[in-house]
């Protein structure tokens, strides 16, 4: 009875507890920041996509969803969607699987493990732009180190970045080289959070390494893994630097990912309404895929 009375004393006029009110007050600065830097640009992007700019006569005209219809009828857009999806279907599982394997292998305190771990974390110190420039030189069809090595082995030179059938896979390689160590770091942190008692119990029960991994490590790593999967998907859907530095969407549009197509429209073709339309579509696409991923992972958890 006394407890109930105390609770009522803490409630505000709308039934909100004083503690919650204080918590919301502390959140206000972050919410304002979020509104200004995240929500408003999204609203601006969507509104901007409903207008068209006429440089000839000057001014903007409200066109409703005409830009969306134009984009959806455009084969270049669909080629970008296809390329972006192929890229992500390959690069996300690849990066996460390798990052997870490395994290498990390098999750130890032995001196050699720590040394190897440092080696694998080295790419983190190189920006994606610099890494792309270096890979561009390495994969050069004439003087590149990779082709020189292939020649040494008696294998003919490969048109890595000039062939439409190879360029996208080179971007997958570069993105993975940059990304794996980054995601591995999160997974390592997740692994180190798992209490050793679980492993001891599994050992006592006679579990094999694989069984320990499957029934102990993976379920307890699920939260970190969910974050890594979602963040990696977003990062790869918005990948820009390697395309900008190396291929500029070519050869023959084979690396023209949606993010680069959006950039081209905004800053090369001065077609801001189309760029805003593409941004809105990209946002919806990423949101839908991330939602599906979270749903799938939650479903698995409930099973």
In this chain, which of 7, 97, 270, 298 binds another protein, going by CB under 8 A? 270
CA-nearest of 96, 65, 37, 71 to 258 is 71
In this chain, which of 22, 164, 287, 288 binds another protein, going by CB under 8 A? 164
How far from 276 is each of 85, 120, 169, 286, CA to CA, in Å?
20, 38, 28, 15
Residue 131: how many other CB atoms lie within 10 Å: 18
How far from 143 is each of 132, 148, 150, 159, 162, CA to CA, in Å?
17, 7, 12, 12, 14
x/- track of binding to another protein for residues 74-113 (CB under 8 A): x-x-------------------------------------
Sign of CA dihedral 194, 235, 285, 165: negative
- Taking the least distance from each CB to another protein, the nearer of 162 and 212 is 162
For position 287 contacting another protein by CB under 8 A, the verdict is no
In this chain, which of 15, 56, 125, 156 binds another protein, going by CB under 8 A? 56
For position 133 contacting another protein by CB under 8 A, the verdict is no
Tokens representing 27 are 């959140």
For position 142 contacting another protein by CB under 8 A, the verdict is yes
Instruction: State how far the Cα of 84 lies from the Cα of 168, in Å rounded to an integer.
Output: 10
Tokens representing 136 are 């561009």
Least distance between another protein and beta carbon 166 (Å): 11
- Taking the least distance from each CB to another protein, the nearer of 15 and 56 is 56
Q: How many residues bind another protein (CB under 8 A)?
A: 29
- Taking the least distance from each CB to another protein, the nearer of 100 and 281 is 281
- Residues near 111 by Cβ (< 8 Å), separated by ≥ 6? none
Instruction: State how far the Cα of 273 lies from the Cα of 259, in Å rounded to an integer.
Output: 15
In this chain, which of 79, 140, 212, 226 binds another protein, going by CB under 8 A? 140
Stretch of residues binding another protein (CB under 8 A), selected from 23-31, 112-120, 134-142, 184-192: 134-142
For position 277 contacting another protein by CB under 8 A, the verdict is no
Would you tell me which residues interact with another protein (CB under 8 A)? Answer: 52-58, 74, 76, 140-142, 159, 161-164, 248-252, 264, 267-272
């Amino acid at each position: 009875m006394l407890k109930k009375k105390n609770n009522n004393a803490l409630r505000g006029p709308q039934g909100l507890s004083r503690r919650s009110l204080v918590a919301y007050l502390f959140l206000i600065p972050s919410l304002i920041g979020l509104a200004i830097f995240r929500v408003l640009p999204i609203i601006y992007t969507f509104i901007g996509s409903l207008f068209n700019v006429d440089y000839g006569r000057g001014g903007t005209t409200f066109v409703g969803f005409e830009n969306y219809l134009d984009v959806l009828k455009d084969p270049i857009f669909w080629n970008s969607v296809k390329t972006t999806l192929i890229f992500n279907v390959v690069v996300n599982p690849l990066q996460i699987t390798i990052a997870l394997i490395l994290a498990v292998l390098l999750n130890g305190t032995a001196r050699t493990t720590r040394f190897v771990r440092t080696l694998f974390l080295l790419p983190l110190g190189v920006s994606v732009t610099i890494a792309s420039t270096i890979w561009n030189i390495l994969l050069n069809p004439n003087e590149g180190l990779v082709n020189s090595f292939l020649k040494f082995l008696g294998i003919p030179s490969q048109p890595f970045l000039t062939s439409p059938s190879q360029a996208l896979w080179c971007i997958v390689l570069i993105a993975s080289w940059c990304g794996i160590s980054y995601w591995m770091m999160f997974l390592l942190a997740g692994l180190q959070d798992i209490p050793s008692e679980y492993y001891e119990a599994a050992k006592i029960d006679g579990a094999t390494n694989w069984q320990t991994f499957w029934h102990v490590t993976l379920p307890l790593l699920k939260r970190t893994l969910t974050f890594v999967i979602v963040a990696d998907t977003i990062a790869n859907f918005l990948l820009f630097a390697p395309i900008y530095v190396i291929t500029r969407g070519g050869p023959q549009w084979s690396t023209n990912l949606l993010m680069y197509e959006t950039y081209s429209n905004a800053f090369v073709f001065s077609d801001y309404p189309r760029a805003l339309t593409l941004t809105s579509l990209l946002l919806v696409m990423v949101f839908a895929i991330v939602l599906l991923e979270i749903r799938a992972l939650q479903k698995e958890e409930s099973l």
